[in-house]
């Protein structure tokens, strides 16, 4: 994806876009991290 953006939009815009994308993901992970994990039992294998 990064490669694609760089080719299409140039270095700076690609960097900015990808940074925004990662930040959005980080914030979403933070907000959703207390949702219980359904059927899957971590550390149980």
Partner 1 sequence: MNKPPLYLWLICALISFSVILILNIYSKDIRRYFFSKPIGIAFDRVNEDSADIRVLILGSSYVREALSDPNVMSKQISKNDRNISYSFVKLIMGGAGLDDFVDNAYLFKKIERYDPHYILLQESTVFFYNEQKIEALGLRRDLSPRMIRTWLSGSRESYIRQQSNHSNTFINDSSQLATDIVLDRIVRPDVSMLKDFLDKIDAELILLHIPLPGQLESLKDSLRNTEDYVNNFKRIESKSDIHMFKYDKSMAFKNYYDQAHMNDMGEKEYTNWFLTKLHEFHLSKVNIQNN
Partner 2 sequence: MEELFEFIGYSFIVVLIYWLVKDSLRMWVIISSCLLYVAYYDIESFLILTTSSLSTFYFLRNQKKYNYIALYVILALVSLFVFYKMKTTYDQGVFKAALPLGLSFYLFRLIHFAIESFKSNTQKYSAQDFFAFMFYLPVITIGPLIRIGEWLKEVKRKRWDPQLFSGGLERILYGCVKIVIMGNYLFTVRLGYLISDISINNKWLAAYLECISYAGNSYMQFAGYSDIAIGFSMLFGIRILENFNFPFLASNINDFWKRWHISLSQWCRDYIFTPIASYTRLPWMAVIASMLVLGLWHELSPRYVIWASFHGIGIVIWNLYSKYFKNQYPGFLGKVYDGFSMLLTFNFVVVSFAWIKEDSVWDSVQVFKTLLGLG
Binding site for partner 2 (CB under 8 A): 22, 25-26, 28-29, 32-45
2 binds partner 1 (CB under 8 A): yes
Q: Which of 8, 9, 10, 34 binds partner 1 (CB under 8 A)?
A: 34
Distance CA 7, CA 3 (A): 6
Do the beta carbons of residue 1 and residue 18 sit within 8 Å? Answer: yes
Helix (H) or strand (E) holding 16: helix 11-32
41 binds, among partner 1, partner 2, none (CB under 5 to 8 A by kind): partner 2
Contact in structure between 10 and 2 (CB atoms under 8 Å):
no
42 binds, among partner 1, partner 2, none (CB under 5 to 8 A by kind): partner 2
């Amino acid at each position: 994806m990064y490669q694609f953006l760089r080719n299409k939009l140039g270095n700076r815009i690609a960097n900015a876009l990808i940074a925004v994308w990662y930040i959005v993901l980080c914030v979403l992970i933070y907000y959703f991290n207390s949702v219980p994990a359904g059927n899957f039992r971590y550390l149980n294998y």
